[in-house]
Amino acid sequence: MSGKLRLGLWLALVGLTVTGPVAAQRVNGARDLMGSRFSIVIEASSEDAPAAKEAVDAAFRRIEDLEAVFSDHDPDSEVSRLVASGGGEVSADFLKLLQISREIHRETEGAFDVTIGNLTRLWRRSMRRGSLPTAAEVNSAAQASGWDLVTVDGRLVTLEEGVRLDFGAVAKGFAADEAVEVLRESGFPVALVDAGGDVSMGDSPPDGWKIEFPDGTTRTFHQGAVATSGDHYRHVEVGGERYSHVLDPATGMGMTDRRTTTVIAANGTWADALASAFSVLPIDHCGRVANALDVSVYIQRPDGVTQFLP
């Protein structure tokens, strides 16, 4: 089969579109997991189609397993149980992502922080109600946030009283990476996983994966990951000011600097987290951090697009 087939994967929340050519047969699937729509596309020969379908199912099972670890909406998830108990032995997946999250926190000057679960919970409520949290509420939640309140000793993780962890800005990218790895191990390396707007790519078709950015431009990729974050869909407007769902850990407040931030990184875990981090970092810090991490960043604001290309 020749030519290009438009996959039509409209990436939820961020307005990305992915297209790609089909070698022999396109096998795909979509499920609602982690509060988002996950879509998987792989390429396989006609005779491999049954095995390809099994591989897609296995990739979704891996995502389901990770949802049971990191969902703070599920009271029975691993992170919810850890928060409720104040600590305990954690799984290998939990420990891996916790350690990665701490590294990203350091590398982004604190702009990314999974320890601010009390603040994100507070702002979710504010968005439902259409009103801002009080200064006292923000201060109380901020006091129960910070890596100094989290202790890691081997597989034992201890949280100071009241601390909540929120992996919402990194778990989807991590899950997408893990799904790509399952597909590769199953014999299907040409694969793309869209985790509700966070795109992780395995190997690419000959012409690459074409991804349309929020500013309308299209770029071709043969590997890596792309993620976008911004306030276009998730925000609260109070007194004529728009407060993003992306919070500044330093202030505990939703960002008011209007940005749609797209990050190109080696993997989805970092791309997902960095899309949030670069939505928080001062613009004059972004170039330095992007260069240090060897990632590309596109920040779209009302006055245009700023690019940071190492």
Question: Which residue from 243, 252, 271 is spatially nearest to 146, judged by alpha carbons?
Answer: 252
Q: What is the pLDDT of residue 24?
A: 56
Whose structure tokens read 């260069």? Answer: 291
Q: What is the pLDDT of residue 22?
A: 43
The CA distance from 212 to 255, in Å, is 25
Q: What is the pLDDT of residue 231?
A: 73
Q: What is the pLDDT of residue 214?
A: 86
The CA distance from 249 to 283, in Å, is 16
pLDDT tens digits for the chain (310 residues)?
A: 222 222 333 333 333 445 444 445 889 999 999 999 999 999 998 899 999 999 999 999 999 999 999 999 999 999 999 999 999 999 999 999 999 999 999 999 999 999 999 999 999 998 898 899 999 999 999 999 999 999 999 999 999 989 999 999 999 999 999 999 999 999 999 999 999 989 999 999 999 999 988 888 899 999 999 999 987 667 888 888 998 999 999 999 999 998 999 999 999 999 999 999 999 999 999 999 999 999 999 999 988 889 998 7
Q: Architecture of domain 86-163+230-308 in CATH?
A: Roll (3.10)
Q: pTM of the prediction?
A: 0.91
Q: How far out from the chain centre does Cα 255 lie? A: 18
The CA distance from 193 to 259, in Å, is 25
The CA distance from 107 to 130, in Å, is 33
Strand partners, 203: 190
Q: What is the pLDDT of residue 18?
A: 53
Sign of the dihedral defined by the CA atoms of residues 81, 71, 228, 134, in that order: negative
Q: What is the pLDDT of residue 309?
A: 87
* The two structure tokens encoding residue 289: 């951090």
Q: What is the pLDDT of residue 269?
A: 98
Q: What is the pLDDT of residue 235?
A: 84
Count of C-beta atoms within a 10 Å radius of residue 232: 17
Q: What are the structural domain ranges in the chain? A: 4-71+171-222, 86-163+230-308
Q: What is the pLDDT of residue 233?
A: 64
Question: Which residue from 281, 308, 291 is spatially nearest to 109, judged by alpha carbons?
Answer: 281
